[in-house]
Structure 1
Amino acid sequence: MDREKYDEIIENLKAQILSERNSSRINKIDSNFYSEIRSIKMQLQEEQKKNMQDITLYMDITGLYDELKKLFHSFYELRFSKIAKFAVYDIQDDIYNLTPEEKTFYENLKREMNIYFKEIFDGEKPKEEEKVEEKIEVNEVNNIEGDSEIGSEAIDNEYIILRITENQPPIAQPERNYYLHKNDVVYLRKGLADILIKRNAAVKINI
């Protein structure tokens, strides 16, 4: 295990916990914040497996794992309760600071709340929207007639905020399927965002 990296992540977690406690805003964090935590967690688990016969070393590693888990749980409660509040009150401020994982949570929570609102207010579960057979396939993002080539790693890592101008068929992407509706405000990869803009299906929101 990379102990220097572990210490760096622990200090970063402590700083982020303090930042989340002291601000009502959603602060920007690195896009690889969660992946780095998962990586060091997996390293700790591997070290535990390799050192099960050495009880002293095993307990030391377990202590490091428990510290990481405890700090991350504190951060998670602070951060995601704030994101949930933004979703409940449909607050658009700071959504550009969400990581892809957080954006998915935010969008899914808003969608589920709308479903339950209709169910409770109307007294019956909303009917499923008529399925649309057409889908925008993954390879369409990388190869559209007349478009410049899309799909480089640099573009894939860039995200854009859009307002959807008309209901869209399901859009299949590697990370998830998207179900976009008129007036949705979404945070999408640049490659997919460019396609929607060119089709006049969305407009970019400049911040």
Structure 2
Amino acid sequence: MPNISYISLRKIQQAERNSSTLTRIDKNFYRDVSTFLSDLNNRLIEEKSPKKQILIREELQRIEKVINSIYEQREKKILIAAMTKSRGGDPNIKNILEEEKKLFEEVYNLLISTKRYIIGGKTELEKGEIEIEKEEAKVKEDIKIEENIEKGDEGLKEETLEEFVESKKTSKVNLEEKYSREANTNPVVRILEDVPSFVGLNKKTYHLKKGDIVSLPLDIYDALIN
């Protein structure tokens, strides 16, 4: 492991500050500083003298601050380089480390895919995600339809379907068809006015409220609209 100390790290920090591009550092820099910090922490744990513990802790804090500064300066340059490349430029990243390449590539790819998505032309992955969202929305709507059929108001008087239709004394109940009858065996409709509670031929009790979207058996559908 190369000789790492507060002084050597400060030199790297200063070099990064004075350069607009990534400076050349040892290819194992991040691994070496990680080992160095680990050793320093172990020294702190094993040290018995309170005074020496204070000195080691202060040294550790100073070194961590410098290492973070080095990383953040290099990180900023990598982000700028990724943006430059995404716009057709040719950034200088010859001194990029292996660990930093992943950051560069992921940011570059994100910039490209986001630009394509916003300006136009979605990727296959994005199209797939949109289809999944549509399917999830459909499932939620189906669940709501079932809940609307099952829910009820115990205080309402129940009528049979025939009694309800007879009581309306009109040719049609105010319903709005959501899907074509041919496309769905059980039409899905939106209720435009409250309907008194009634019992269908299937022995289910229906409590239909204004604004409900429900799937109705054909016999009930026909009875309500005719």
* TM-score bin (small chain): 0.5 to 0.7
Q: Secondary structure at the match of 1:13?
A: helix
| Counterpart-to-counterpart distance in 2, 1:112 and 1:61 | 42
Map of 1:95 onto structure 2: 93
Q: Does 1:44 align with 2:40?
A: yes
State how 1:1-207 maps to structure 2 within 5 Å.
5-7=3-5, 10-51=6-47, 53-90=48-85, 91-122=89-120, 126-128=123-125
| Unpaired segments ≥5 residues, structure 2 | 127-226
| 1:75-111 deviation per Cα after TM superposition (whole angstroms, max 9, x unaligned) | 1221110111011111434322111011121111111
State the percentage of identical aligned residues: 24
Asked if the contact 2:79/2:104 (under 8 Å) is kept, the reply is: yes
CA-based RMSD of the aligned residues comes to 2.7
The 1-side partners of 2:57 and 2:114 are apart by 42
Contact 1:26 1:98 in 2 (8 A): yes
- Conserved 8 A contact 2:40-2:56: yes
Q: How many residues align?
A: 124
For 1:97 and 1:61, the matched residues in 2 are separated by 32
Is the 8 Å Cα contact of residues 95 and 103 (structure 1) preserved in structure 2? no
Distance in structure 2 (CA, Å) of the matches to 1:15 and 1:86: 23
Task: Kindly provide the amino acid, as one letter, of the partner of residue 57 in structure 1.
Answer: K
Deviation digits for residues 109-159 of structure 1 (CA, Å, limit 9, x no counterpart): 11122222233333x863329xxxxxxxxxxxxxxxxxxxxxxxxxxxxxx
CA distance in 1, matches of 2:11, 2:42: 27
TM-score relative to the length of structure 2: 0.48
Q: What is the identity, as a one-letter code, of the residue corresponding to 2:108?
A: K
Q: 1: CA distance between counterparts of 2:54 and 2:4?
A: 16
Using the alignment, how far apart are the partners of 1:126 and 1:116 within structure 2? 10
Counterpart CA distance in 1 for 2:51 and 2:119 is 59
